[in-house]
Chains A and B, each alone.
Chain A
């Protein structure tokens, strides 16, 4: 008969998120979200692979890929993963100035990638590959556009972290927040590596 022993929560310990799995709710939610994203990109990539040769007599994305250019922008994005790791490690150690700097660099590298994508889309468009030109074009722009939106959201998150850190709201205690944003960022990078390999590098049959 152990009823009515009201237990108010009185203490908050931010370091021990006592969850059953030992992974905090936030991180677990991010992992789950990213796993659903796999299906989203999986469906988009499959769509492109199905349609990549369907030009309806018009120009195909594969005809006008500028591999050297995209390799450079891919490399930039890949490097941003490295700077993200550096940012996290700085925040973990409490070196907030360094952490802020790396966050900013990461966001900027992402920005360079997006800029590259804008340039790529523009030049493709000039070469006659509009969004509505053919199924291959629609699939290409939708897939890479979706990825671009993901990168942009990532940049937004990084900048929010930077602003919060600037205001002193993001401290060493919030390492996990940085880690979770990092998870997202790495995921977006990995997806791009996959897209770059499968869509750009593997030549059409």
Chain B
């Protein structure tokens, strides 16, 4: 999986009309790396998100291995306390902000337009901007290892006043604050973009209640992002102002209240949990029906439970603060609210089970990951219920029981699902399968390793092992289970190596194998009605959607007796990607340039304000250039001078193409 491979190369001769009309010209599609850095294609951006996320998965994973190696035996000095604190902080930050969120963004970018029958997202250049800004923030965050005197050492939750300049004098926390601000901008822009896409860019007939569950869950996720990120933005700015400009937001000696940070952080932080988990819920809601040969059970319930989780996710943040002294009435209220979020979550689990009920289950690797997700997430959900008992949580919080819980949710519920998604959509994205045999080895190693790592942490937590301790003493009963967890973590590492090997080897083997065709899994949603890999223009013509699972109903019908009958061969109803001269948005370098300016401003705030000027000039210049850049449309050259206009253009593209649909034959 490298950036140079070109899974989207087209044989159909798509060309870009280039008629410079403004001050600046837009780059043309040239092939090679320039194509990637200037692309505004949602698919390429999705792939870049995926590649970068997997890179940071490796970084965060290595950090995890260091943590587990240190904790394998009691009283070890494998890494120092200071370094340990940096590593566990960066492990958390990396996995949450630089791995799972962008990997979910990869799926969102690639699949939302395909699933709703659109040619691209609403704002393609903003989409490129989101990726580059996120990447620049991610790299910025990690450069603190080199230039910041080490990583942030305050924990991913970075509670004040420990995060203040007095208690964390190195630049690690500054990098944390600025880095997350930058990645936050990226996610915010992306959220607005994808919400508009979902609401405005659907193919004719694609009502909201016909959208696939994945698209729905991603849409809910984007809403959560849109409303959660401003809050953490404020929190991070206040932290940065305290550390840089000496403001008094978190200094208890000046009368400030450390709880302010906790509230702001968790008002963001709890929806963040659902931001992480809902995409995976969506993914397995696509995989399970496909490999059960049944429609998803309770589509409406599935959608509304997702929305309910999204809403309720806003009312439970203080369950992270049961022992912080917020007062018994608040605790009671948040405890109750937390319990009832279990209801929509339970509905989801039961719906997946009912989908499998009476189905014909084909255990491909993707299906294994999906069912594994259901089981593992259930464990995480149940331990979550035990935390919602506020009195019990006073025993559990900040112990390894919590570490176990959220890894079952985030890894078991989130990461396993995302891996399932990778196996499922790999042929669609890259035009060849990932090897199933190696995939199954990947799955079983990961499942066993995962349970061996995090299962014992339940025991450790209940035995009273605190979180975030760099070592522990012998004699508390912690030795055996810690060793097991460490062994498990290495198993996970091996499973990830198997995955990468599979990616590499499967690509090599693909030349000798028949291509997967448009719909290798006999699946249900629109992305399977077009060739694999997806042509650059997505759809030859936009589909005229008539029902939920529209694509499946192109292939099958249900007769009067309720029996499924095939009405068409897949290849006959699938598009062949042969359309030419489909107008696509032109590439642009300015998103990248703009994104490079932001970390410079960040370094400037931390080290030298002159850098801020440089970064500001770069960013400001890029915005200026962006606005003046022609939209590359012969007819749209007049009168357009603001950066919003590309959307109007695309909408016109969509409607123009869509109106020409002939239906099926």
Contact = CB atoms under 8 A, between A and B. Distances in A.
Interface of A: 1-14, 16-21, 23-26, 28-29, 32-33, 35-37, 39-40, 42-44, 47, 50-51, 54-56, 131-135, 137-139, 142, 160, 164, 169-171, 173-174, 177, 180
Interface stretch (B100-108, B398-406, B444-452, B578-586): B578-586
Given A17-B648, A21-B199, A32-B226, A1 B573 contact: yes
Contacts of A17: 648, 651-652
B199 A20 contact: yes
B89 to A, nearest CB: 23
Contact of A20 (B202, B231, B233, B648): B202
Interface stretch (B46-54, B244-252, B344-352, B505-513): B244-252
B436 interface: no
Contact of A5 (B260, B541, B649): B541
B576 A56 contact: no
Interface stretch (B25-33, B279-287, B329-337, B632-640): B632-640
Contact of A137 (B248, B540, B578): B248
A36 B248 CA distance: 26
B260 A20 contact: no
B279 to A, nearest CB: 19
A33 to B, nearest CB: 6
Given A29-B123, A137-B248, A40 B234 contact: yes
Given A9-B653, A19-B200, A142-B238, A131 B256 contact: no
B614 interface: no
Contacts of A32: 191-192, 195-196, 226
Contacts of B642: 160, 164, 174, 177
A23 B235 CA distance: 33
B540 A25 contact: no
A37 B234 CA distance: 11
Contacts of B123: 25, 29
27 contacts: A2-B664, A5-B579, A7-B541, A7-B660, A8-B581, A12-B656, A16-B655, A17-B648, A19-B199, A20-B199, A21-B200, A24-B651, A25-B123, A25-B651, A26-B645, A28-B200, A35-B226, A36-B229, A40-B230, A40-B231, A42-B231, A47-B238, A47-B264, A50-B260, A55-B255, A169-B641, A174-B639
Interface string B184-228: 000010011101100111100010000000000000000000111
Nearest to A18: B655
Given A9-B652, A131-B247, A180 B644 contact: yes
Contact of A12 (B202, B256, B636): B636
A6 B241 contact: no
A199 B540 CA distance: 57
B665 interface: yes
- Of A1, A142, A164, chain B has the most CB atoms within 10 Å of the CB of A1
A3 B639 contact: no
Interface in B568-598: 572-576, 578-583
Interface of B: 122-123, 188, 191-193, 195-196, 199-202, 206, 226-231, 233-235, 237-238, 241, 245-249, 251, 254-257, 260, 264, 267, 540-541, 572-576, 578-583, 633, 635-636, 639-642, 644-645, 647-658, 660-665
B192 to A, nearest CB: 5
Nearest to B658: A18
A59 to B, nearest CB: 13
A160 to B, nearest CB: 8
A140 to B, nearest CB: 11
Contacts, number: 207
B648 A26 contact: yes
Contacts of A51: 249, 256-257, 260
Contact of A132 (B245, B574, B664): B245
A117 B494 CA distance: 60
Given A12-B652, A25-B651, A44-B234, A2 B663 contact: yes
B639 A36 contact: no
Contacts of B540: 3-7
B255 A134 contact: yes
Nearest to A16: B655
Contacts of A171: 639
A16 B656 CA distance: 11
A63 B237 CA distance: 26
A6 B581 contact: yes
Which 8 pairs between the two chains have the least Cβ-Cβ distance? A18-B655, A25-B647, A6-B579, A138-B247, A19-B200, A43-B234, A40-B230, A26-B644
B578 A3 contact: yes
Contact of A138 (B192, B201, B249, B572): B249
Contacts of A1: 572-573, 664-665
Contacts of A19: 199-201, 651
- Of A11, A14, A134, A169, chain B has the most CB atoms within 10 Å of the CB of A14
Contact of A29 (B206, B227, B644, B654): B644
Given A3-B575, A135-B248, A169-B639, A25 B231 contact: no
A169 B249 CA distance: 46
Contacts of B652: 9, 11-14, 17-18
B254 to A, nearest CB: 5
A132 B656 contact: no
Contacts of B641: 164, 169-170, 174
Given A4-B579, A39-B230, A56-B255, A20 B201 contact: yes
A165 B574 CA distance: 48
A24 B647 contact: yes
- Of B206, B246, B260, B575, chain A has the most CB atoms within 10 Å of the CB of B260
Contacts of A25: 122-123, 196, 200-201, 644, 647-648, 650-651
A52 B26 CA distance: 51
A6 B578 contact: yes
A173 B234 contact: no
A49 B475 CA distance: 49
Contacts of A35: 226-227
Contact of B579 (A7, A138, A173): A7
A45 to B, nearest CB: 10
- Of A23, A32, A137, chain B has the most CB atoms within 10 Å of the CB of A32
B582 A9 contact: yes
Contacts of B122: 25, 29
A57 to B, nearest CB: 9
A39 B228 CA distance: 8
Contacts of A132: 245-248
Contacts of B241: 138, 142
Contacts of B649: 12
Contacts of B201: 19-20, 25
B196 A12 contact: no
Nearest to B665: A1
Contacts of A170: 639, 641
B210 to A, nearest CB: 11
Contacts of B267: 43
Contacts of B662: 2, 5
Nearest to B580: A6
A178 B188 CA distance: 24
Nearest to B642: A177
A177 B644 CA distance: 8
Contact of A26 (B228, B647, B653): B647
Contacts of B576: 3-4
A77 to B, nearest CB: 22
B657 A138 contact: no
Contact of B656 (A3, A11, A21): A11
A54 B256 contact: yes
B364 to A, nearest CB: 28
